[in-house]
Amino acid sequence: MNEAVSKQSRTVIRLPEEIYTAINELAVAHNRSLNGEIVTSVHKFLYERESLTLIKDRLFATSPSNIMELNKRTPSFPFLATNTNAHQVTLRLDATVTDDLREALEIVRVQSGMSLSLNSYLLQVMSWWITYNFQIQEFSKILYDDFKTSLRRPVSAVCGNLFGHSLAFA
């Protein structure tokens, strides 16, 4: 048996339609399988979330004024009980990632005092990943539109009053 395959764990998760559709759209956009996108979301959440969130927050802090509209359009996923019509997906994760995921879940359980299931925790992880990707994609569009708008302005309007005198081009 291939050693890489033998060190993977399999977990069956149930995804509500909204999350299944959104994560599947991301998988297609990122040229990954559904499992690959979920695995990426887990990796990013466990190992890169703090830096990714910091980068996103820094970008938003320097953003144009229409960023508030982006926050209104950002999808949210209420965590209701998964119904019987949910999509069942077999998730294949490396054993070490599975251990780290379970450890993170246990920390959340202790800190919150809640009895959170692995499935519910994974739904939160995927929700974060979907939201993060949506915000970055939409923010990129806002920056691009702002850039295009600045290219249409005359040079003097973009540069302003440089060094105390206006720019004049012969």
List, for residues 74-109, the tens digit of each pLDDT value.
777 766 555 557 899 999 999 999 999 999 999 999
Q: Per residue in 59-83, pLDDT tens?
A: 777 766 666 677 677 777 766 555 5
pLDDT at 99: 94
Domain span including residue 22: 3-164
Number of domains comprising the chain: 1
46 within domain boundaries: yes
Count of CB atoms situated within 10 Å of the CB of 23: 22
88 within domain boundaries: yes
Report yes or no: 122 and 91 within 8 Å, Cβ to Cβ.
yes
Model confidence, pTM: 0.77
Q: How far is CA 131 from CA 23, 30, 33, 99, 127, in A?
A: 10, 15, 19, 25, 6
169 within domain boundaries: no
| Statement: residue 25 has pLDDT above 90 | yes
Mean pLDDT across the chain, nearest whole number?
A: 81
170 within domain boundaries: no
Report yes or no: 40 and 30 within 8 Å, Cβ to Cβ.
yes
47 within domain boundaries: yes
Name 48's Cβ contacts closer than 8 Å, sequence gap at least 6: none
